[in-house]
A and B are shown apart, each in its own frame.
Chain A
Amino acid sequence: MTQTPSGEVVVRLQGVGRRFGATPALAGVDLTIRQGERVAVLGPSGAGKSTLLALLNGSLEPSEGSLEILGSAPAGLSTRERRALQRRVGTISQGLDLVEQVRVLHNVNAGRLAEWGTPRALASLAWPRPDRRALDALTAVGLEWAVHERTERLSGGERQRVAIARLLIQRPELVLADEPVASLDPTRASEVLALLGQAVRRGTGLDADPDAGPVARPDGALVVTLHQPLLARQHCTRAIGLREGRLIFDAVVDDLPPAALDDLYARA
């Protein structure tokens, strides 16, 4: 069952640490994630999970060690290059960060702002037109009926799916999800994780882009922070454990020994 991932490297961390003032949030992390991997990050609150995700989307820089995202080191990038890199990384957080006062379509299209550039983005805000890709993204999350709904009128679960549609339309090569299911019931949680898995899988019809032609694109990678090892086992291929800023295990989910989890959540 154990198979070594063979895709290209998506992120590589070598001896990465990050401190805020004198407090280390993350220390000595070595981690390589390849295409096609779905990685669950487990660990108690304050273990450094959010810091790790912020490093991976380039909004935070490491205090030490070397970090490489999609083939480039964010530290040496100009603002423009950094934006270009961030465009290939999709982030979804627990707070969803949707603009509540606009139509669902706008929030979905927000995932394409970087691709569109300024003039087209402004035009789309003034004259919103649901095109094929936006409708596909909403259909994938089961919200095709809500294109013109006001976002704030939707339920919590529906808003979560709008945020995922925004992610889908961005077509990221790396998806980072910060506790996406923390406030959901088990059935919903499973649905959301399945959708996130779909977001990084290519050629499932979802990504069939009439403009792109028959170019086979490789799968992306998913990194998701979770509190439920069971969900990790169902939806991920690999699990890593963080505790007090250190990587304490890194294993294929099926090989995850229960003892490792006990150790992870044990009180210091």
Chain B
Amino acid sequence: MLLRRVAGALIILLPILWALRRALPGDSDVVNAGGVPLIGDLLAKALSPRLDGEFLRVVLEATGTTLAFAALGTAGALVIGLLGGLVLSDVAWSRRPPLPVRLVRGLLRGVLVAIRSVHELVWALLLVSVLGLDPLVAVIAIALPFGAQTAQVFGDTFDALPTRALRSLRDAGAPAVPAVVFALLPPAGPLMLSYSFYRFECAVRSTVLLGAVGVGGLGQELVVSLSSRNWDEVWTLIAAVIVLSALVDAWSGRLRTDMAVASCAEWSAGGTTSVPRRSHSRWARWSAVAVVPGLVVAWIASGVSLSGLTSERTRMLTVGLLEDLVPPALPSAGWQVVTGGVLDTLAMAVLAMSIAVLITVVVSPWAVAARRSGGPPAPLGARAVRWVVWAIARVVLLVLRSVPPTVWAVIALLALFPGVLPGALALGIYTGGVLGRLVAESWESVSPAPRDALVRTGVPGALATVAAVVPASAQQLVTYTLYRFEICVRETAVVGIVGAAGLGRLLADNLNFFRFPVVTTLLLASFAVSVAVELISRRLRHAIRA
């Protein structure tokens, strides 16, 4: 027992120590003394953001662009997800599918894993080199990885449904497509809609990120203002990003609780066991009515056109890119560059995750909505204080996760020399916001009954919490931490692209110099790392649950 504990502690501590050593090499400076005053300037401008009419119009327009890209990207992802999900699910094929279908399915599964192992920002970089700075880049960069993820989730959703209705239709001779539409979509509908809105929330955040490659919207304005050091503009834009993010979260959260009892936490952990609720609220109705016109407006307003896809130039550039990408080659400095990038990526992810867990442990307990416990109601004053603390904690988490990690990275890079540390810091702050919210939401479902029982037997409140609530909460924290770690590894690409370190930085550098064979090698390396981490984390999660 003791041995197991020690082993467990070492599994956690050793990687952190190793990552710290990698992030803080003894021989070189970490802090860029020249940059520290810049941070001071940045902070000083917080109280005087740029609010003149001209700039606000720019911000408003950028917000519209971001929303439009996110909506169109999500729509594309849903089409991919629905078709892919049907092909992947076992239910949709009434009997054992024929061999060619099974082969195609296996292939599709692999392709989808590969697609979602590449971060949307990397997709955007690759697409920019073919399509140029076309709005289509943003839409496709969101639609592809999100679609791959959605296909997986929809496939699992279909397979969890009872199959009898579908089978009975098929036995009565119904053709496959209408039978599937009649029997599968209605029961899966609420869950699929709920997931779609969750995806839209994520898409808004990702679209802001994509600004880093210059495809427009709030993200691009942010990068421009940051790099020209117009700090007053930066603050206005950050406020806009936070407000947008909060509004979308609130809208989509409201819809999701109306339609199905699935929390964000459940979806992001890859599925839900909740039973859909069948009351269509006015919110859900009006949102459904707004979706199609909203998409049309988004399409027209954002100036997305598919003509870029079919143009001769795109075709030539695509063929050229594919020819350039193969055969893969090592960087001129040798394979050490690649392994160094892999190790930097892992170190960055480990450190970022440590920071995120730290933030979660400090902030999340306050971000859990207060629940009535068995005892007498607390005095009004105490409840008001509790509410204020809750609201502050929620806002802190919202700010941390709404400001894109690219922005955190650019800020960190003002004061720190490029390397693992600024990347880990930026990613850790952002991931802390995401993880903190997920964990707080999941803690809300931890039963207070055992704690109340202890309190009734005379145990002091704090002690009762430690004894009865912490064990259950700790397990959820560990589960979500492992899950987020997988994503974190993928997201190191993001901070890498703005100049931190790791495979993302190598990718961006080599793309800049059109060294495409090296890019292929790096993409393969990222794919291998992300799959390996996913497998290990899945093993660990199973081991913990067992």
B161-197 with Cβ < 8 A to chain A: 164-165, 167-169, 171-175, 177-179, 181-183, 186-187, 189
- Which of A58, A110, A117, A125 sits near B175, CB closer than 8 Å? A117
A interface list, Cβ under 8 A from B:
57-59, 83-91, 93, 95, 97-102, 106, 110-111, 113-114, 116-118, 121-122, 125, 150, 152, 170
- Contact A101:B169 (CB < 8 A) given known A113-B175, A116-B178: no
One of A57, A113, A152 near B182 (C-beta < 8 A): A113
Q: Is the CB of B172 within 8 A of A111?
A: yes
CB distance from B432 to the nearest CB of A (A): 39
B278 interface residue, CB < 8 Å from A? yes
Q: Chain A contacts of B181 at CB under 8 A?
A: 121-122, 125
* Given known A87-B172, A101-B187, A114-B173, contact A121–B165 (CB-CB < 8 A): no
Distance of A27 Cα from B172 Cα, bound (Å): 26
CB contacts (< 8 Å) of B278 on chain A: these are 101, 150, 152
A83: chain B residues at CB < 8 Å are: 173-175
Name the B residues within 8 Å of A118 (CB-CB).
175, 177-178
Contact B168 A93 (CB under 8 A): yes
Contact A87 B173 (CB under 8 A): yes
Counting chain B CB atoms within 10 Å of each CB, the highest count among A84, A89, A121 belongs to A121
- Taken together as a complex, chains A and B put the C-alpha atoms of A125 and B189 apart, in Å, by 14
B interface size (C-beta, 8 A): 20
Interface 1/0 per residue, B261-277 and A, CB below 8 Å: 00000000000000000
List the B residue with the shortest CB-CB distance to A84.
B173
Instruction: Establish whether residues B172 and A170, one from each chain, have CB atoms under 8 Å apart when the complex forms.
Output: yes
CB-CB under 8 A from A91, the residues of chain B are 168, 171-172
Using known A-B contacts A95-B164, A98-B165, A152-B278, determine if residue A59 contacts B189 with beta carbons closer than 8 Å. no
The verdict on A101 contacting B173 (CB below 8 Å), with A95-B164, A113-B178, A152-B278 known, is: no
Interchain CB contact under 8 A, B167 and A97: yes
A86 to B169, CA, bound (A): 10
Q: Are B172 and A114 in contact (CB under 8 A)?
A: yes
B504 to chain A, nearest CB (A): 44
Contact between chains at A110 and B187 (CB < 8 Å): no
- A110 to B180 Cα, complex, angstroms: 11
**Contact across chains for A99 and B171 when beta carbons are under 8 A apart:** no
With both chains docked as a complex, state the minimum distance between the C-beta of B157 and any C-beta of chain A, in angstroms.
14
Task: State which residues 478-523 of B face A: CB under 8 Å.
Answer: none
B183 adjacent to A99 (CB under 8 Å):
yes
**Which residues of chain B from 246 to 284 have a CB within 8 Å of any chain A CB?**
278
Neighbouring B residues of A93 by C-beta, 8 Å: 164, 168
- Is B178's CB under 8 angstroms from A121's CB? yes
For residue B94, which residue of chain A has the nearest CB?
A: A59
B172, A86: Cβ atoms under 8 Å?
yes
Q: Tell me how far the C-beta of B505 lies from the nearest C-beta in chain A, rounded to whole angstroms.
A: 49
Further 16 A-B residue pairs, CB within 8 A, beyond A83-B173, A90-B172, A125-B181: A83-B175, A85-B173, A89-B173, A97-B164, A97-B169, A101-B278, A106-B182, A110-B169, A113-B175, A113-B178, A113-B179, A114-B174, A114-B175, A118-B177, A122-B178, A125-B178
